[in-house]
C-alpha cells in the first residue's frame, strides 16, 4: 500500500507537466503527460494485490490512495497560502529566467537571485493543482483503478485462475484506456484549451493525439511489466507464506 500511495501522490505532483518523447527524432516525437512516468506502476501494484490478497484488499488500497491524494492537495493549498519570508529567494543560477523587477542585482551588476515574490510564483506554478485537474484526475483515478480490479477478477474467473499474463494485460488495457480518455479529455480541453480533433495554428497538437500516444506508451509499459507481475506475486507469496504456486 505504501508503494502504491507513493506512486499515486507523485503522479498528482508531476502530472501537470507535458513533455516531448524523442524530441530529436520527429517521426517518433510525441507529446505526453509526465504522469506516465509513475502512474503505470499503480496498476502493476493493484494487479499484484488483487492476485495475492483479493479484490477487496485491492479496492481498499485504491481508497487509501484517494484519501492520501486529497490530503496532499489540501496541504499544498494551505502551504501556498502562507506568506513567503523575505529571505526565501530564487538562487542566482535560476534568477535570470524571471522579470527584471523580480531580480536582485548587486552593485557590480551581477544577478544575485530573485525575490521572494518570484519564489512564491515558482512554487505556486509548480504545485498549484487547478480544481479542474483535481476533478479530472480523481474521477479518472477512481474509475480506472476500480475498473482494473473488476476486470482482473473477471478475467480470472473466465480463465479459471489460469493465464496470469492475460488478466494482467487485459485488465490494464481497459482501465488505462478509460483513465487516459477521462483525464486528458477534461484537463487538456478545458484547462489548456487544446483542440480535441483538429489542430490549429496556435495549438498544433490535439487532445486525441495526446490520448492516442499516451495510451500506446502505457500499453507498451503494461506488456513490458508482465515479467515483473510474476516476480512480484512470487515474492509476495513467499514473503507472506501464501501458496507458492500459481497457474500461468
Instruction: Kindly tell me if the per-residue pLDDT of 108 is higher than 70.
Output: yes
Supply the pLDDT for residue 35: 87
pLDDT at 129: 67
Q: What's the residue count for the chain?
A: 248
pLDDT recorded at residue 176? 94
pLDDT of residue 243: 67
> What is the per-residue pLDDT for 245?
46
CA distance 113 to 93: 7
Q: Look over the chain and give the mean of its residue pLDDT values, rounded to a whole number.
A: 90
Domains and CATH numbers, the chain: 2-83+130-239 (1.10.1760)
- Residue 248 pLDDT: 40
Give the model's confidence band at 67: pLDDT under 50 very low, under 70 low, under 90 confident, else very high.
very high
For residues 43 and 11, is the Cβ–Cβ distance under 8 A? no
How far is Cα 223 from Cα 37, in angstroms, rounded to an integer? 15
Query: Is the pLDDT confidence value at 103 over 90?
Result: yes
This prediction has a pTM of 0.82
SS3 32: strand
Q: Which residues pair with 33 in a beta bridge?
A: 18
Lowest mean pLDDT segment, chosen from 73-77, 128-132, 149-153, 159-163: 128-132
Contacts of 211 (CB under 8 A, 6+ apart): 180, 181, 184, 185
3-state secondary structure of 112: strand
Say what percent of the chain tops pLDDT 90: 65
Contact of 55 with 157, CB cutoff 8 Å: no
CA 192/CA 31 separation, integer angstroms: 14
pLDDT for 247 equals: 41
pLDDT of residue 98: 96
Grid coordinates representing 123 are: 512554487
What tens digit of pLDDT does each residue of 4-31 get? Answer: 999 999 988 888 788 998 899 888 888 8
Helix, strand, coil tally for the chain in percent (to 5):
70, 5, 25
Beta bridge partners of 111: 105
Helix (H) or strand (E) holding 111: strand 111-114
With contact defined as beta carbons under 8 Å apart, do 167 and 152 qualify?
A: yes
| 183, pLDDT greater than 60 | yes
Q: What is the dihedral of CA 191, 196, 198, 204, to 10 degrees?
A: 40
At 200-210, the pLDDT tens digits run 988 888 999 99
Q: Residues 201-248: pLDDT tens digits?
A: 888 889 999 999 989 999 998 899 999 999 999 999 898 887 654 444
Per-residue confidence (pLDDT) for residue 20, from 0 to 100: 92
Comparing CA positions, the residue from 141, 92, 139, 143 lying closest to residue 119 is 92
In the Cβ-directed half-sphere of 80, how many Cα atoms lie within 13 Å? 16
Q: How far apart are CA 56 and CA 61, in angstroms?
A: 9
Cα separation, 85 vs 198, whole angstroms: 46
Contact 212, 204 (CB under 8 A): no
Confidence at 130, pLDDT banded by 50, 70, 90: low
Amino acid at each position: 500500500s505504501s508503494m502504491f500511495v507513493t506512486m499515486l501522490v507523485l503522479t498528482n505532483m508531476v502530472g501537470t507537466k507535458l513533455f516531448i518523447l524523442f524530441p530529436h527524432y520527429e517521426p517518433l516525437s510525441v507529446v505526453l503527460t509526465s504522469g506516465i512516468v509513475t502512474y503505470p506502476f499503480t496498476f502493476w501494484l493493484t494487479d499484484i494485490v488483487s492476485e495475492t490478497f483479493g479484490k477487496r484488499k485491492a479496492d481498499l488500497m485504491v481508497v487509501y490512495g484517494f484519501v492520501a491524494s486529497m490530503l496532499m492537495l489540501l496541504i499544498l493549498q494551505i502551504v501556498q497560502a502562507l506568506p513567503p519570508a523575505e529571505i526565501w529567494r530564487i538562487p542566482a543560477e535560476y534568477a535570470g529566467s524571471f522579470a527584471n523587477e523580480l531580480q536582485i542585482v548587486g552593485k557590480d551588476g551581477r544577478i544575485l537571485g530573485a525575490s521572494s515574490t518570484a519564489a512564491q510564483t515558482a512554487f505556486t506554478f509548480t504545485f498549484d493543482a487547478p480544481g479542474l485537474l483535481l476533478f479530472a484526475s480523481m474521477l479518472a483515478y477512481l474509475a480506472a483503478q476500480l475498473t482494473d480490479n473488476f476486470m482482473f477478477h473477471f478475467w480470472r474467473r473466465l480463465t479459471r485462475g489460469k493465464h496470469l499474463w492475460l488478466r494482467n494485460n487485459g485488465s490494464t488495457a481497459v482501465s488505462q484506456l478509460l483513465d487516459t480518455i477521462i483525464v486528458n479529455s477534461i484537463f487538456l480541453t478545458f484547462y489548456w484549451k487544446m483542440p480535441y480533433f483538429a489542430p490549429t495554428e496556435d495549438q498544433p497538437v490535439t487532445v486525441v493525439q495526446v490520448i492516442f500516444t499516451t495510451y500506446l506508451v502505457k500499453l507498451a509499459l503494461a506488456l513490458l511489466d508482465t515479467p515483473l507481475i510474476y516476480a512480484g506475486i512470487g515474492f509476495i507469496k513467499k514473503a507472506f507464506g501464501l501458496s507458492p504456486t500459481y497457474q500461468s
